[in-house]
Amino acid sequence: MKRVAVMFMAVLLLMTAAIGTALAAERAVPLKDSGTFTADTQSTLPGDAGAVKQALAERSTVRYRILIVDDVAGESREAYLDRVLAAWGWPPADTLQLVIFTQANYDLYFAMGADFAKAGMGVPDMLKQIHEVYLPDVRNGDPALGLAKLIRALNARMMPAAGLTPEQVVRSFYGWHLGMFSHTDRAFSGNTLAERSYRQSPYLTAGYISEVDATLAQMDATGGGADPFLCAQNHPEEMSFETSAVHGDTATVYAYTHWTGSKKQLTVTLRQVAGQWQIERIACQK
């Protein structure tokens, strides 16, 4: 009986030591700083860091809290996120909390403020955005660009189009469209067009979306073609905008594409649909 008691005590001591080691190894949650990013790692996001900076600077109804951390050994990433939320508090209504684990192939975990649910953006929708927008660039070795695209996609999804002027709608649409492409690869090579993500844009009428679908289907069948939103194969160096006229429920905005030594005009026609302005046609300069 004494021997059994000794063995029991030995096992208990081993278990206590193991638990103590695990607790000691638990990674402390960093203090939340006042900026967008908090780093709990020596790693950074490789790739197009400029795209992330620009995406975060663009007009948005969403605020972001982003924590970059090495993979947490001996603890599930869900448990680490729970400890982050316990230390930092649940995100405010307009805020999205992102935790990116650099040593786990830049796996991304999130917590959404209440505004996302009000806008009809649930967890399945967020997971879909991550899989379709963020992860392709992670697999291509550019998680920074993937994060920038995710931010822009969420900004576009959460931006209330109601209340915007025709020119603001056009500016917002082109800011989103151009921003989805890499800063270092401005050629017409996919993204909003190849991924057909323009179909979810709140800035386009349903009829115009169908027209663009038909245009791209024809391009796929024949080969070649230009970006129907820009009337060009390459992205411009910059764009400018000018409101031409507003008559009742229709409006015209001129969008100008600028390259070194050249400038082209796009005529953008908008119509009010359910109280908000939407683009129903983009005509190229003849």
CA angle 156, 104, 131 (to 5 degrees): 30
Residues in the chain: 286
Find out whether 266 and 230 touch, Cβ atoms under 8 Å.
yes
Identify whether residues 155 and 33 lie together within a single domain. Answer: yes
Among 159, 177, 204, give the residue marking a domain's end. Answer: 159
3 inside domain: no
**Based on the domain organization, do 181 and 286 belong to the same domain?**
yes
Question: Is pTM beyond 0.95 here?
Answer: no
Q: Is the dihedral of CA 234, 240, 244, 250 positive or negative?
A: positive
Over residues 108-146, the pLDDT tens digits come to 999 988 888 777 777 888 888 899 899 999 999 999 999
**What's the pLDDT tens digit per position in 243-270?**
889 999 999 999 999 988 889 999 999 9
Tell whether 11 is covered by a domain: no
Q: Residue 213, Cα to own-chain centre: how many angstroms?
A: 23
CATH number at residue 280: 3.10.450.50
**Are residues 171 and 128 part of one domain?**
no
- Asked whether 46 and 141 are in contact (CB, 8 A), the reply is yes
Do residues 67 and 155 both lie within one domain?
yes
Q: Domain boundary residue among 159, 180, 207?
A: 159
Q: Say if residue 167 is in the same domain as residue 130.
A: no
For residue 223, the model assigns a pLDDT of 80
In a domain, 176, yes or no: yes
Tell me, yes or no, whether 179 and 103 share the same domain.
no
Q: Does residue 176 share a domain with residue 124?
A: no
pLDDT tens across 15-66, in order? 444 444 444 457 788 888 777 888 777 678 899 988 898 888 887 889 999 9
Residue at a domain's end among 97, 127, 159: 159
3-class state of residue 99 by DSSP: strand
Q: Report whether 45 contacts 144 (CB < 8 A).
A: yes
Number of domains in the chain: 2
Task: Report if residue 17 sits inside a domain.
Answer: no
Which residue range(s) make up the domain with 146? 29-159
Residue at 20 is within a domain:
no
Residues 148 and 67 in one domain: yes
Task: Give the pair of three-digit tokens for residue 35.
Answer: 């900026």
Same domain for 67 and 112? yes
Q: Note the pLDDT tens digit of each residue in 58-100.
A: 878 899 999 999 878 788 898 999 999 999 998 998 999 999 9
Same domain, 192 and 225: yes
